[in-house]
Copies of this chain bind each other. A is one copy, B any other.
């Protein structure tokens, strides 16, 4: 598995590390033979989900927390692999013994979403019907499809109700969907740096990234694996576009400003530091990420809009939700600005749901959700402290599964 240290941009971790690492972890895989009906109308006859777990499931099976990932991350949320100690989980500052999501108290599950490229069934895995990689034949998936598959995984590991489903960005959308469509199976939802749907501008950025990939001559209609190539050019540009939206203008200015590498060259070689940085990010991404996956995950983002199931009324869409909500936004996030989080909060308030909201002052833009800002981690840690006290005495609602 490739090394990656952040779901989104490359903002550096800040602040002193708190708590300890979960240490060595193992990637697991669950195979599902029961077909999964997808929103697009197609059915996956069988599929695998890659996942990791940290901490221990208590006897009552009430302390499980699902961590959902955003665009380009995976089930490798915390810890590291014995044979790859530099490959630290993408939310390692959040999840571990004594960390905000404390693995001494919670049983934490990370899962790689369907259609991704890190072990779960997706375009790079083998289509059992052909014996070849799925490539562009893999269906387009939605947030709802992911959540349905995650529910199958919950059954498999014997979790009838999550103490919490938690995610940042696209991960937060999965938490919203859990709350709406599986209300009995979720005690609380942590919706961080998310939005109730994508704005026109959000879709526009996704579409440009897709066009960069789709028009790369090495994309070959998505069957590039058959040609032994990858649409690296398109992936590079796609990642560079995404990257801009993960960082705040202020952060980029502080970090790079107009700094030059070695003076003006009057050429198209990188002259400004920001140019080198973006090119490096693009190169790195093009090496480890799959183009068909990128296309599908951006589409899942574009499609997510639970309000459409309730005539455009988000509050009404949330009417089935019974769990408690923590919504967190960051002041300089312009991908999913605080105003979008407040739309969620207002809809929850209109539905008289139990919701807490924190708007964290942070200069890092959207990437802030991956960083260990003390105020942010304090809010999340306090939330989980309360959940931990509640679930300690809750009886199981489901018999143990094998």
A interface vs B, CB < 8 Å?
39-41, 139-140, 197-201, 203-205, 207-208, 210-212, 214-217, 233, 236-237, 240-241, 244, 247, 249, 252-253, 255-258, 264, 266-268, 270-272, 274-275, 278-279, 282, 295, 299, 302-303, 305
The complex places the Cα of A39 from the Cα of B233 at a distance, in Å, of: 31
What copy number does this chain have within its complex? 2
Given contacts A40-B266, A237-B237, A266-B139, contact A257 B200 (CB under 8 A): yes
Q: Is the CB of A272 within 8 A of B302?
A: yes
Q: Is the CB of B204 within 8 A of A274?
A: yes
The complex places the Cα of A279 from the Cα of B305 at a distance, in Å, of: 23
* Shortest CB distance A306–B (Å): 12
15 more A-B contacts (CB under 8 A) besides A197-B258, A200-B274, A201-B244? A140-B267, A199-B249, A200-B252, A201-B249, A204-B240, A204-B275, A205-B244, A207-B240, A207-B278, A211-B237, A212-B237, A214-B268, A241-B241, A264-B303, A271-B302
For residue A203, which residues in chain B have a CB less than 8 angstroms away from its CB? Answer: 258, 272, 274-275
For residue A244, which residues in chain B have a CB less than 8 angstroms away from its CB? Answer: 201, 204-205, 208
Q: Is the CB of B41 within 8 A of A266?
A: yes
Dominant SS among interface residues on chain A = helix
For residue A264, which residues in chain B have a CB less than 8 angstroms away from its CB? Answer: 303
The complex places the Cα of A207 from the Cα of B236 at a distance, in Å, of: 12
Looking at A204, A241, A253, the one whose CB has the most chain B CB atoms below 10 A away is A204
Q: Is the CB of B266 within 8 A of A208?
A: no
Looking at A201, A233, A255, the one whose CB has the most chain B CB atoms below 10 A away is A201
Contact of A211 among B41, B204, B210, B282 (CB under 8 A): B282
Looking at A210, A278, A279, the one whose CB has the most chain B CB atoms below 10 A away is A278
The complex places the Cα of A241 from the Cα of B278 at a distance, in Å, of: 15
* Shortest CB distance A49–B (Å): 21
